[in-house]
Homo-oligomer: A and B are copies of this chain.
């Protein structure tokens, strides 16, 4: 079994110098980190002037950097130089104020500091005992955020006002996908138990539901969890509901499934779809789900952050009757990746499906039942100290600043929306709910939808090729639509206005016949 005793000579051949190699030598740590901070300072100062989308070709990096790992150590400055010269020019700059694609990954000084400290402490808080502070900080941060979003008390772990420990609670995961996966598995296992399935034999009878605008990862997570692809129901949406889920249609499909002997198990409701920020009606879906004993999960990855502002909170009406909700502060709450918060009304339904108890992790605290072992609410065992950065964001900025930030982004999106509406050549395709504007060049003359797609695609391509803005697209009800997402953390109104001017200019070029250039 390869005990080293058989070849002690190999140690002598690689004797270290007097000091030995110290990977966490404190002077090195300080020096490397200071250099990194200087780099970040310069990067934020200059990122505005860099092309948002780089003009590199596939394989560019391997042509710039050596393809074999070095054997000798190199000064830290070498790595920094290669980052400056080879990495930065090949980046899509999500931090650029000219980034309007996808949803922005918002960030803040407090979050980066929290992430930095956590990565230096580098603890693995799988159980409470493995890092009490990390576990409790995560619980505290989730409880705080739940309060900011006015989630019902049933989702809060340590209830305020002497309410004690509830049955619900939260966990920080990597992605919305993971939140969907663990809740799908919990719902699946509960449904299998309910129908008295022998092992997973009953799996072919379980059905799940979501609007056709639900993030594509939902289908992927259903596949991962072993649901039959044929039993994943995609409820068609239309412009009539601004692409939100139609509860009547959902009811119809679920009832038909029950009539066919199938078992409705899980419904995914989205508040703020990725494609167009459509909002599914939470309360109406919760009402329907109750009839069928189906799990309701709310995916509020992006728009959940807005619910810290009272004027947006109504989108979550009915949340007190759902089983779980997730939202990602790494999207819009200025917390760097990764940070997806999942709350469930009954943590035991999760831990029943996800608990492990190997001998080497057993400890008195876990045995006592008085602590939360967060590994039992997630996919993996190991876990980072993610609660720190989320707490630091709330602690440092307070809800006032956070609300201000959301409102400022929405106000900028409104500026853009109004500009689009004021130009006859364009149309806003669906109502703007948050800080995403879905728009396009309106078909003109005898244009078909195909022609309209070509013109709008051309606009997107030309715009993105300038390097001065980056926007993305989607397809809504058969229409090719441009997505303009406001909110990158260095963004100011002037960037929105500049992007709009550039869009106008490129549109004029295209319409005046330079399209085939």
Contact = CB atoms under 8 A, between A and B. Distances in A.
Given A37-B37, A120-B43, A392-B79, A311 B10 contact: yes
Contact of A91 (B34, B121, B226, B309): B121
A224 interface: yes
A203 B220 contact: no
Interface string A318-345: 0000000000101000101110000000
Interface residues of A, number: 198
A512 to B, nearest CB: 25
Interface in A146-193: 147-148, 158, 160, 174-178, 181, 185, 188-189
Interface string A50-84: 00011010111110010111111111101100110
A246 interface: no
Given A21-B401, A224-B224, A473-B360, A26 B44 contact: yes
A270 interface: no
Interface in A459-504: 472-475, 483, 489-490, 492
A492 B83 CA distance: 32
Contact of A381 (B83, B215, B311, B489): B215
Interface string A98-128: 0000100111111111011101111111001
A28 interface: yes
A112 B29 contact: yes
Nearest to A117: B36
B14 A41 contact: no
Given A35-B113, A79-B391, 12 more contacts: A1-B431, A21-B405, A23-B109, A67-B158, A73-B400, A89-B133, A174-B379, A181-B224, A199-B228, A217-B381, A219-B356, A224-B224
Contacts of A23: 106-110, 334, 397, 405, 489
A408 interface: yes
A33 B25 contact: no
A132 interface: yes
B408 A215 contact: no
A165 B314 CA distance: 51
A158 to B, nearest CB: 5
5 contacts: A23-B489, A67-B140, A67-B160, A93-B121, A112-B120
A489 B122 CA distance: 11
Given A147-B69, A353-B223, A398-B73, A490 B29 contact: no
Instruction: Report, nearest first, the 9 A-B pairs whose CB atoms are least far apart.
Output: A226-B226, A175-B380, A90-B133, A23-B108, A177-B380, A61-B136, A69-B144, A199-B228, A216-B358
A20 to B, nearest CB: 6
Contacts of A475: 359
